Amino acid sequence: GGSPRSRSSSRPTTWFLIARVLWGLGSAAVFATAYTIAADISDGGSRGTNMGVVRGGITMGFPAGLVLGGVVSALAGNIAAFVVAAAFALTASVVAYRFVPETHVTGDRSGDSIKPWDVDTAVPAVTVGLVNFGLMFAYIGALFSTLVLFLGENEISLFGLAPQGTSGLFMAGTVLSAALFMFVGGRISDARDSRTPILLTFLVVSFVGFLLLARAGSVVSLGLACVFIGAGQGGTSGPMMALLADLTPDDRMGRASGTNNVLGDVGGGLGPMVSLPLIEAVGFAPIYAACAVLPLAAGAVLLVGVRRETGTFLPGHAVGEPERGERSTSPDS
C-alpha cells in the first residue's frame, strides 16, 4: 500500500494537471466577475478608471506572486510556496465574501439558467476580444517568450546578470509601465466624450514600442521599447474593458468578459508557438517588426466593430447606460 503521500506523489503529473485545471477555472471566474462588478458599480464617467484599477491589480499581482513564490520556495521549498498561495486565495475569498456587495443579481433569479456553452458572440464582445487577442499575441508571444533569447543573442545585461535575471528586470519594467497606464488610460477615457481616440492612441504607442524593439541593441533602447510596449498594452486595457461595458447589456457582461478573456488567453498561448520557431528561421528583428503591425490591425478591427454596433466610430459613454439605469438607481440591488 504505502503512505498516502507516496501514493499521491507517484502520479505528480496527474495531480499537477488537475491543480492547474482547477486554478484556471477559478481564476477565470474571478476575472470575469471582477470586471462585471466594476461595470455594475460604474457609470460612463468612472468606468474606465475602475476597469483600469481592476486590470492594474491583476497585472501587478502576477509579478508580485512570482517574486513572493520564488522567495518562499527558495527558503522553505515548493510545497510551502503552494501553501502560501492557497492561503492568499482563501484570504481573498473571505475578504470578497465579507466586503464585496452583490451588484449583479437584482431579484429572484433562481429559475434562470445559463448554459456553460452560452458564449457571448455579440459584436462588442468579439471585437474587444479580437483586439485583446492581437495585443496578447504580441505582448506574451513576441516579447515575454523571446526576451531571454534576445538578450543572449545581443549580449545585453543589467548589473552583470545572466539573460534570465536581466529579462526579469526588463519584464518588471514592462509590467510596471503597463499597470501605471492601465489607470491613466482609463482615467483619460472617462474624461473624454468617446473612448475610441484614447484606445487608438495607445495602440499606436504599442506599435511604436515594437518598432523600437525591432531596432533595439542596447540597454537603453531595449528599456525604452519595453516602456512603450507596456504603456501601449496597459493604456488600452482600462478603456477597452470600459468600452465593452458601455456596449454590453448588464445581463451579458459576465459572458462578454469571458469571451474577451478566452480570446486574450488564446492569443497569449499561440504567440510563443508561432514566434519562437519563426525567430529561429528569420531572426528577431523581422518578427518584432511584424508584431508591430498587430496593434494597427487591432485598431482597424476596433473601428469596424464599433461602427457596426453603434453606427459611429466615436460612441459616447452613455450608449449602454439604459440597460444599467434601473440597477444603479436601486439601493437594494
Least confident of 24-38, 235-249, 274-288, 313-327: 313-327
DSSP secondary structure of 39-98: HHT--TTTHHHHHHHHHHHHHHHHHHHHHHHHHHHHHH-HHHHHHHHHHHHHHHHHHHHH
Band the pLDDT of 326: cuts 50, 70, 90.
very low
**CA 8 to CA 14: how far, in whole Å?**
9
High-pLDDT (> 90) share of the chain, %:
40
Per-residue model confidence as pLDDT tens digits over 236-247: 988 998 999 899
Residue 6: its pLDDT value, please? 42
Mean pLDDT on 13-24: 81
Instruction: Please answer whether residues 205 and 174 qualify as being in contact, where contact means their C-beta atoms are separated by less than 8 angstroms.
Output: no
pTM here is: 0.80
Band the pLDDT of 67: cuts 50, 70, 90.
low
* Per-residue pLDDT at 325 exceeds 70: no
- Report which of residues 169 and 307 the model is more confident about: 307
Residue 98: its pLDDT value, please? 86
Q: What one-letter code names the amino acid at 121?
A: T
- The rounded mean pLDDT for the chain is 83
Domain ranges of the chain: 9-102+122-317
Residue 159: its pLDDT value, please? 87
High-pLDDT (> 70) share of the chain, %:
85
Least confident of 92-96, 202-206, 229-233, 271-275: 92-96
Least confident of 10-14, 19-23, 204-208, 252-256: 10-14
Residue the block writes with cell 501605471:
180
Name the range with the highest mean pLDDT among 81-85, 166-170, 230-234.
230-234
- The architecture (CATH level 2) of 9-102+122-317 comes to Up-down Bundle (1.20)
Alpha-carbon torsion, ordered 78, 79, 80, 83, to 10 deg: 130
Residue 63: its pLDDT value, please? 66
Instruction: Please answer whether residues 146 and 167 qualify as being in contact, where contact means their C-beta atoms are separated by less than 8 angstroms.
Output: no
Band the pLDDT of 138: cuts 50, 70, 90.
very high
Q: What one-letter code names the amino acid at 109?
A: R
